[in-house]
């Protein structure tokens, strides 16, 4: 068999998932129903789950194994990327699916879990290996890990792959500011080695994000231009049509900066801006991402409001239907100052990116759902073509929907003397056929294989919180004067446009 190149190996689906039992804490929650269980089913269908595998849903509501399996079948039918459901595959998978009822702080429940896991080891030959997925409110993270350790359910970390392993997947957010992130890290590392902690950010599992390194480091045409000599600006946009839905209580504690910017957008920024790693080893890649975050210029405290803009949506129209203001959503205070929109300008003070602004924006109730990274190249001297400066070359990496890459360049209009931009467009679905694996499929598979490349390391998160915690503190001390400040169905507050206008730039039309 022909040997794969390192980059082909990096992008190849993993086939070496190890025997284990996965325990999902918060198994009756929305994340498990919409993402985790469909991901596990699709991994089973694609032959990516280990042969010796079982899954236990851990939650507080009383439920039998059969009730849980029936509920999960309905959710997989609704949310799986592959339809219709292959009932033969489901029957095989559901026989490995169990339910365990307990409070998260209840010692007796962990003792019963210990016995159940011992029985599953004997039945499925899972060899004492454990993956714990914490799909709960962040306030439960520390107590769950503590109880697992106290009841002998966490094995020590060993570099030797033949030893029993314990891996813990922790959902975002990891802390709500710098101090809480440091406290949570101190709590979990009492019981776990850093190599056992898999902090999940589903954006890192998306096909286009994974392909960013391939795009840059295997294509000299791009890597040779990937610097401040040729790039004028970078724009990263996360636009959502939806409001907060039923997540009012969560959103009142989080807001857009914590929920999207601190994790998803900082990860995208670091991958776009990182230097070539010396290998495709997980730590080599994450080392370069950390260097980027440590090079981001601290936001200026004296005029922070000019560099960072917050917004909150008012009433408006989405696809012709009137939608409520944020303050009228369920479980939201009628005087809430929580932001549903953030825009900011960042600078990376290193040799490659000196002088190149990075513009970030993320918002709810905007006109369309789209996440993209736009690399806007510098313009040529305007000697030959009078309207050349209107259409800068732009490389766009579309993360969702319709994952793909496009390049905008200039051509002369036939029979005319002026220029018009044209677009070369590549879409994953059109070229490769079918639908790419969901992000959670790739990330769960990587965890089962012991590959933590696409999971956030603590020093990455620490650098992100150091950058953004002063913004949160400033907002707490200076409540907004005019919330809500943008109508649903528009592109956000006017102040966000001013961030770019003062430098003669503007946001891309998405």
Sketch out the chain's domains with CATH numbers: 6-199 (3.40.50.720), 204-435+468-501 (3.30.360.10)
User: 146 pLDDT exceeds 70?
Assistant: yes
User: 5 pLDDT exceeds 80?
Assistant: no
Higher-pLDDT residue of 147 and 29 is 147
Question: For residue 218, what pLDDT is reported?
Answer: 87
Supply angle C-alpha 138, 144, 147, rounded to 5: 155
The position carrying tokens 């890459």 is 405
Residue 387: pLDDT band with limits 50, 70, 90? low
How far apart, in whole angstroms, are the C-alpha atoms of residue 261 and residue 361? Answer: 8
Residue 49, CA distances (Å) to 315, 362, 370, 465 in order? 46, 35, 31, 35
User: 193 pLDDT exceeds 90?
Assistant: yes
Tokens of residue 180, six digits: 């809480």
Question: For residue 2, what pLDDT is reported?
Answer: 42
Strand pairing category for 394-400 and 197-199: unpaired
Contact predicate 148/25, CB 8 Å: no
Question: For residue 447, what pLDDT is reported?
Answer: 93
User: 383 pLDDT exceeds 80?
Assistant: no
How far apart, in whole angstroms, are the C-alpha atoms of residue 100 and residue 24? Answer: 10
- Quick: pLDDT tens for 335-357: 999 999 999 999 999 999 999 99
Contact predicate 145/191, CB 8 Å: yes
How far apart, in whole angstroms, are the C-alpha atoms of residue 195 and residue 253? Answer: 29
Tokens of residue 41, six digits: 């089913």
Contact predicate 80/87, CB 8 Å: no
Question: For residue 14, what pLDDT is reported?
Answer: 46
User: 290 pLDDT exceeds 70?
Assistant: yes
In whole numbers, what is the pLDDT of the chain averaged over residues?
A: 89
- Quick: pLDDT tens for 87-143: 999 999 999 999 999 999 999 999 999 999 999 999 999 999 999 999 998 889 999
Phi and psi dihedrals of 432, rounded to 5?
A: -90, -15
How far apart, in whole angstroms, are the C-alpha atoms of residue 363 and residue 358? Answer: 17
Question: For residue 11, what pLDDT is reported?
Answer: 46
User: 416 pLDDT exceeds 70?
Assistant: no
Residue 209: pLDDT band with limits 50, 70, 90? confident
Contact predicate 341/492, CB 8 Å: yes
Question: For residue 12, what pLDDT is reported?
Answer: 45
Question: For residue 484, what pLDDT is reported?
Answer: 95
Q: Does residue 406 sit in helix, strand or coil?
A: strand
Higher-pLDDT residue of 211 and 27 is 27
φ/ψ region of 171 (left if φ > 0, alpha if ψ in -120 to 50, else beta) reads beta
Active site residues: 264
Task: Give the chain's length.
Answer: 510
Question: For residue 1, what pLDDT is reported?
Answer: 33
Tokens of residue 231, six digits: 């790039």
Residue 401: pLDDT band with limits 50, 70, 90? confident
Question: For residue 91, what pLDDT is reported?
Answer: 94
Question: For residue 8, what pLDDT is reported?
Answer: 44
């Amino acid at each position: 068999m022909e040997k794969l190149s390192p980059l082909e190996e990096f992008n190849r689906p993993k086939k070496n998932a190890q025997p284990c039992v996965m325990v999902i804490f918060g198994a009756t929650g929305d994340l498990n129903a919409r993402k985790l269980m469909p991901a596990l089913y699709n991994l089973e269908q694609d032959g990516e789950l280990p042969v010796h595998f079982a899954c236990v849903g851990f939650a507080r509501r009383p439920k039998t194994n059969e009730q849980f399996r029936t509920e999960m079948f309905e959710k997989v039918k609704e949310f799986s990327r592959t339809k219709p459901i292959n009932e033969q595959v489901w029957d095989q998978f559901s026989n490995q699916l169990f339910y365990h009822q307990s409070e998260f702080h209840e010692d007796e429940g962990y003792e019963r879990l210990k016995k159940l896991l011992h029985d599953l080891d004997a039945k499925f030959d899972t060899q004492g290996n454990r993956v714990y997925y914490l799909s709960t409110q962040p306030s439960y993270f520390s107590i769950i890990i503590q109880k697992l350790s106290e009841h002998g359910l966490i094995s020590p970390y060993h570099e030797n792959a033949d030893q029993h392993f314990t891996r813990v997947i922790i959902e975002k957010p990891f802390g709500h500011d710098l101090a809480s992130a440091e406290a949570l890290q101190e709590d979990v590392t009492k019981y776990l080695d850093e190599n056992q902690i898999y902090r999940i950010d589903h954006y890192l599992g998306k096909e286009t994000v994974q392909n960013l390194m391939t795009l840059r480091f295997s294509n000299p045409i791009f890597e040779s231009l990937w610097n401040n000599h040729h790039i004028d600006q970078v724009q990263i946009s996360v636009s959502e049509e939806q409001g907060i839905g039923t997540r009012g209580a969560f959103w009142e504690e989080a807001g857009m900066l914590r929920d999207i910017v601190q994790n998803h957008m900082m990860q995208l920024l670091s991958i776009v801006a990182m230097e070539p790693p010396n290998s495709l080893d997980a730590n080599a890649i994450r080392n370069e991402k950390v260097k980027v975050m440590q090079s981001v210029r601290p936001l200026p405290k004296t005029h922070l409001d000019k560099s960072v803009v917050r917004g909150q949506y008012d009433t408006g129209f989405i696809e012709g239907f009137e939608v409520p203001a944020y303050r009228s959503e369920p479980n939201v205070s009628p005087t809430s100052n929580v932001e549903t929109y953030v825009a900011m300008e960042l600078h990376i003070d290193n040799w490659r990116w000196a002088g190149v602004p990075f513009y970030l924006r993320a918002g709810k109730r905007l006109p369309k759902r789209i996440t993209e990274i736009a690399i806007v190249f510098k313009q040529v001297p305007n000697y030959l073509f009078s309207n050349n400066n209107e259409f800068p070359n732009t490389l766009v990496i579309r993360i969702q929907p319709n994952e793909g890459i496009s390049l905008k360049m200039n051509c002369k209009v036939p029979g005319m003397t002026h220029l018009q931009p044209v677009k070369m467009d590549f879409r994953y679905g059109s070229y490769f056929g079918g639908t790419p694996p969901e992000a959670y499929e790739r990330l769960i598979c990587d965890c089962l294989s012991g590959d933590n490349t696409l999971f956030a390391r603590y020093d990455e998160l620490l650098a992100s919180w150091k950058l953004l915690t002063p913004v949160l503190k400033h907002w707490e001390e200076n409540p907004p004067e005019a919330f809500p400040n943008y109508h649903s169905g528009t592109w956000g507050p006017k102040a966000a446009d001013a961030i770019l206008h003062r430098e003669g730039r503007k946001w891309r039309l998405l």
